[in-house]
Amino acid sequence: MTSVQHQILRYIVLIILSIFPLIAILILYLIEPLHRNFSIYDISIAHEYKNDTVSNPLVNGLTFGSSLLFAAVYCIFSPAKCQSILSCIMSLFFGFGITKSFTQLLKITVGRLRPDFLQRCKPDQEDVRMHSIEDMRIFGQLLSHDFKCTGDAQIVKEGHMSFPSGHASSISYAFAFCSFLAFFWCYRYIQQKKQTGMSRIFLLMICLTLSQTLILIALYTSSSRVSDNRHNISDVIFGFIIGVIGGIISGLIIWIFECIEKWEESDEQVI
């Protein structure tokens, strides 16, 4: 099998692998999350229901916008532009798909209630009264139940999916992916050992500045989910970790592909 055939086969495999997580995301979004019993006196889920500081369209725009921008700059300065473009795009979708599908899977299986759940749910008072009569007769107090909700069905559904934070996993994915591309490009530039051009310290400062900017955006977006009463701190931290791991996986895929291409070029030159 020739090197061209090897490349085609690799990209076909990566395309297939990129499609599966995206399909999984669509399926998982259709599944109803776990409904936990709750107490109407639980202060941890009795916070105010607010509007999002950073909306879903905005965080998705930031995630894909920054990732595609960094990927485009990386590919422009890549020796093999076509291969780099394909590997960047495919690894971006694969890593993001894995990140979002894993996040959504945890959301629907854990079923943790959001801090503003009671205002989302608006428990049916007749249902509460019926459970109260039964519980008071047997236990002397109202217990936790999966009370019937009268709020908007979609808003209530979202209220059952607090853990982990989807905003945190998305924006931290972009931070990790873009930072990996920036440092990998700097490393490759330095390895070329050019006599003229940017110094190593200057390159390192650029990478550190870009990474610092990205992490500040990621931290602001993630912290807004706590102040908006959408998540607990643990939801945000775990979502952030998931996103960073996904971004690193995407970056490693690009690095592996480029290493394989270099090995094949070296073999052809030897032959």
To the query of whether residue 231 is one of the catalytic residues in this protein, the response is yes
Q: Write down the catalytic residue from 131, 145, 160, 167.
A: 167
What length does the chain have? Answer: 271
Q: Write down the catalytic residue from 131, 145, 160, 231.
A: 231
- Do 224 and 157 contact (CB within 8 A), yes or no? no
Residue 145: beta bridge partners? 38
Q: Give the residue numbers marked as catalytic.
A: 167, 231
